[in-house]
Chain A
Amino acid sequence: MSSSKKIRVLVAKPGLDGHDRGVKIVARALRDAGMEVIYTGLRQTPEMVVRAALDEGVHCIGLSILSGAHNALFPKIMELLKAEGVSDILVVGGGIIPEDDIPDLKKAGISEIFGPGTPLDVIVEYIKTNVKL
């Protein structure tokens, strides 16, 4: 029954920074848009993110990093997903991510990066449009 089909999103903060204002607001907006949001809290290793995503059967992973560790952590997560043979999970990122870093992150498999000040609707719409149910 497609009526009860729901977009499931894992919202995660890899790395050590504790600034979760943005990630929590996004989580809330996704919920208000009718999605099921699994939030795992701060300080997630790439392994933990991938494990949670697989166990929870999510369609999308939203990652947020503000400390500058994205170049190390985002690709690592993509690598682990690939090693698990996963290619159908949409992965998006957010936080303080310099423009210059974005091409490489996209090459690693991150679909989109949302910078500071991105309206919530834009994020919601992007996920709705691009997720593979």
Chain B
Amino acid sequence: MSIDELVQGVLNQKRRYLARLISLIEDEDIQAMEALSQLYKHTGKGHIIGVTGPPGSGKSSLVTKLTAEFRKRSKTIGIICVDPSSPFTGGALLGDRIRMQEHSLDDEVYVRSMGTRGHLGGLARATSDAVRAVDAFGKDIIFVETVGTGQSEVEVVDVAHTVIVTDVPGSGDDIQAIKAGIMEIADIFVVNKSDLAGADKKVTEINAMLDIDPKEQAWRPPVLLTNARTGEGIPELVDNILAHLEHLKGSGLLQKKGLQRSRDELQELMKYKLTKELSQKLQGKPEYEKAIKMIAKRKQDPYTVAEQLIAEFLFSETR
């Protein structure tokens, strides 16, 4: 399949081409970037919604129900589910699709599962490229589900316009976790499993925490109750998601965020390209191996060697 075919296939909404493109992205294949660079001008239309929270808090179930609600409102949907790969074997069991069976034959819903792998470009890079591919494909709403535990997973939701942080009733301890990392990124809090005891209490706790947060007040994250099994609270959640998008547009934040994202992305890409190029060039070079040994023996220092190697391998040859 040529790059042109791939690009045309995606633009003509052929699922197989989208699937193929995402595979190339995951494999960090050079063709992926070429295709994405052609597709870039067709992106930026989808509403990207990040869903993050502890494992088992009902993210996949929630995305399924949100999908149903958005479908009722005639939106087309893309879903990217990210699950951790084993750091030892690199393998992964990707089970989010189990929850999404009710949409499995809907032509307007595309679901893709991704393992975190050990991406050279970082998880965020692969995921945001995958989201971009779905965006170019033309889906109106794109969900990105990640487990909200580690830093890299949190970064993933940076690509999102609207970030939903999920939690469940029960143990007050994890509120600390929310405070620690995920708090800042939430545009909407969802306390899922509203059928379990302590749901209201959890809502109160989160609200209390938001009250003492000195952050900008233009958008105060709503705290919503849902039952992702029965669908209770889902229409309200969708209304809030749409209201958040309106807020972004109305306040000029959408543009501002867009600029910031472009700046971040450009920087990151350059960093990534440089790192990749450098490591390819250094790979197996005797000078490189030798220098490492010298540094270890304290015969040379890493500060000087880094300067030298960069000057020698990156700049001398490319010029």
A37 and B89 contacting across the interface, CB-CB below 8 Å: no
In the complex, which residues of chain A have a beta carbon less than 8 angstroms from the beta carbon of B89?
31-34
In the complex, which residues of chain B have a beta carbon less than 8 angstroms from the beta carbon of A69?
none
Contact of B92 among A1, A36, A54, A84 (CB under 8 A): A36
In the complex, which residues of chain A have a beta carbon less than 8 angstroms from the beta carbon of B93?
27-28, 31, 37, 39
In the complex, which residues of chain A have a beta carbon less than 8 angstroms from the beta carbon of B98?
39-41
A28 to B89, CA, bound (A): 12
B104 and A38 contacting across the interface, CB-CB below 8 Å: no
CB distance from B22 to the nearest CB of A (A): 6
B1-45: contact bitstring with A at CB < 8 Å (1 yes, 0 no)? 000000000000001100110110011110000000000000000
Beyond A31-B91, A52-B97, whether A36 also contacts B118 by CB under 8 A is no
A47 and B105 contacting across the interface, CB-CB below 8 Å: yes
Beyond A36-B85, A41-B98, whether A55 also contacts B115 by CB under 8 A is no
Closest to B28 in A: A1
Main secondary structure of the interface of A (DSSP, over half): mixed
CB distance from A29 to the nearest CB of B (A): 10
B112 contacts partner chain A, Cβ-Cβ < 8 Å: yes
Closest to A42 in B: B98
Beyond A36-B94, A38-B94, whether A51 also contacts B119 by CB under 8 A is no
A54 to B110, CA, bound (A): 10
Main secondary structure of the interface of B (DSSP, over half): mixed
Contact residues of A between 51 and 88, Cβ < 8 Å to B: 51-52, 54-57, 84-86
Q: Which of B90, B98, B118 has the most CB of A within 10 A?
A: B90
Closest to B86 in A: A31
In the complex, which residues of chain A have a beta carbon less than 8 angstroms from the beta carbon of B104?
40, 48, 51-52
A120 contacts partner chain B, Cβ-Cβ < 8 Å: no
In the complex, which residues of chain B have a beta carbon less than 8 angstroms from the beta carbon of A91?
none
In the complex, which residues of chain A have a beta carbon less than 8 angstroms from the beta carbon of B95?
38-39
B91 and A1 contacting across the interface, CB-CB below 8 Å: no
B210 contacts partner chain A, Cβ-Cβ < 8 Å: no
A122 to B152, CA, bound (A): 36
Instruction: Write the residues of chain B forming the contact surface with A, with a CB cutoff of 8 angstroms.
Output: 15-16, 19-20, 22-23, 26-29, 85-86, 89-95, 97-98, 101, 104-105, 110-113, 115, 117-120
25 contacts between A and B (CB under 8 A): A1-B27, A1-B29, A4-B117, A5-B27, A6-B26, A6-B27, A27-B93, A31-B86, A31-B91, A31-B93, A36-B85, A36-B94, A36-B113, A37-B92, A37-B93, A45-B105, A47-B105, A48-B104, A51-B105, A55-B19, A56-B112, A56-B113, A57-B23, A84-B16, A86-B16
